[in-house]
Structure 1
């Protein structure tokens, strides 16, 4: 992917540099994007996988400047494992999303959880970390994971959206930690903000964020409508729904689609619109 070079610092604006990790996959697109915020002292957002080459690239971009904080949006292994070696090398505290111990035997299609993630300080809605000329304010955006945070940079009206809003695809919402009800509420929350630009964990910067978020809300409501129409024709198992809803989907992405449909079904169930019966689902009406 020559058009997406890994390990090379790219200046997005005076306060923000992006470094792409070499972990491209069907679920990470071109790879995880680490963002470095600041000029004289720094914050490193989502340092990514524990890849020696990527960590070396981050150190070159840091260029011996003090790191005030290693900031984490959520605890998936394509975002947080590099916190440990980077902390050892810089002495910076790990701050951000809460740690989470998920006991789930169910199938997973997204990046698995980083069981060793251990922040020094957990941030909640409105908490912040600061440095010379920059502030990162935590915005709680659960849905992709229960502990997901976005981070606003009020000095330039930018938002680091992690995996909640990505620049290439809608995010995976995989129960039980992923929650469609929370995800939709978090999108609505962002619609009420006036951020100028989003810097996501995957994909290009989003310079018309309100338009994209509005489209994501519409896309999810469209999927919900598809599910309800299918179930009105009779009870169905999830694989049969996915086959009808995602025509032509590559086999490697089918598990993610099944988890997404399950998330929608749980949301519809909480609203009293569908019922689970063994391996099938049906409408209540």
Structure 2
């Protein structure tokens, strides 16, 4: 989900098309919407001069897009070593099985149900292909299976839906949990300091060149929204739609249904931390 906020380090353009860093090239999927912004960013990752590539998030099951990604890899004189999934939402993973048919490459994911091949992914894994190195960073919160990928040679972090290139993301309750998401943002912030990460390569929206500024913005934004939901409960708002209409009035109505998921996650977090009474509304419509 995105609002209209311009993030720190964001250029005034849409999603990237073509090279974004020395090792990362974007192919934009033709699935724009209020939820996906300009579309899904499919990332082709390869070491300069290598004959192998890694593809992150092949995108939806769109034959034209999947063939375009495969042809982009082939034109560069490379083959796909394996495909990675940042998480299981269909706009990122829906085309994975067909892409595996087109390329013969296995699909690796945290969720075993999404894997095609013998290997999965886990936080802390170090992946290599033709000299390229990627480090798997566990970042649950948007979904339970969300991962980010550190590309240390480019001081870049591929963030899937955990951090978007424009606006903010949803907490996809009940699979996503706000506490996990806040922990993930804090871990990503430490990564920017410890590993010198400067560039965010998101799953939707433009490349961001101020990783620390963006993550700090996300942390402040989440704290602000959480306080607003807490105040809304204290003011007597009883259901998730009521809270969304009050708290998310500044956000495009097209994403209000998704905002309800974030509200449910925030209510759960507030109850678990004793910030609202246990019998406070759970977001369900009143009888």
Residue 78 of structure 2 is matched in structure 1 by 65
Q: Would you say the 8 A contact 1:98–1:119 is kept in 2?
A: no
Give the 5 Å matches for 1:1-285: 10-38=18-46, 39-63=50-74, 65-99=78-112, 117-120=114-117, 121-194=119-192, 195-234=197-236, 236-247=238-249, 249-275=251-277, 277=279
| Counterparts of 1:223 and 1:279, CA distance in 2 | 17
Compute the displacement of 1:247 (Å).
Answer: 2.0
Give the distance between the partners of 1:233 and 1:66, measured in 2 at CA.
58
Deviation of the 1:276 alpha carbon = 5.3
* SS in structure 2 at match of 1:275: coil
Report if the CA contact (8 A) 1:145-1:179 is conserved. yes
- Identify if the C-alpha distance between structure 1 residues 13 and 72 changes in structure 2 by more than 3 Å, giving closer, same or farther: same
> Is residue 75–residue 99 contact of structure 1 (8 Å, CA) maintained in 2?
no
Deviations 1:16-63 (A, max 9, x none): 111000000110000000010114210000000110110121122111
* TM-score, structure 1 as length reference: 0.85
- Structure 1: 5+ residue runs without aligned partners? 101-116
CA–CA distance in structure 2, aligned partners of residues 98 and 245 of structure 1: 33
Q: CA deviation at 1:277?
A: 4.0
Q: Does structure 2 retain, via aligned residues, the 8 Å contact 1:235–1:280?
A: no
Extract unaligned runs of 5+ from structure 2: 1-12
Could you say if the C-alpha distance between residues 119 and 218 of structure 1 is closer, same or farther in structure 2, counting changes exceeding 3 Å? farther
The structure with the largest strand share of the pair is: 1
- In the TM superposition, what whole-angstrom CA distance separates every residue of 1:92-126 from its partner, at most 9, and x where no partner exists? 111132146xxxxxxxxxxxxxxxx3343221111
Q: Which of the pair is proportionally richer in helix? A: 2
RMSD: 2.0
Q: 1:107: which partner in 2?
A: none
SS of 2:71's equivalent in the other structure is: helix
Distance 2:73 2:282 in 1: 52
Instruction: Point out the more displaced range, 240-249 or 120-129.
Output: 240-249
Distance in 2, matches of 1:205 and 1:30, equals: 12
The offset of 1:65, in angstroms, is 1.7
Which secondary structure state, in structure 2, belongs to the residue aligned with residue 172 of structure 1?
Answer: coil
1:180 to partner: Cα distance: 0.7
TM-score (norm 2): 0.85
Q: Which has the higher contact order (CA 8 A, sep 6+)?
A: 2
Q: Secondary structure of 1:193's match?
A: helix
Instruction: Name the count of aligned residue pairs.
Output: 261
The secondary structure found in structure 1 opposite 2:201 is strand
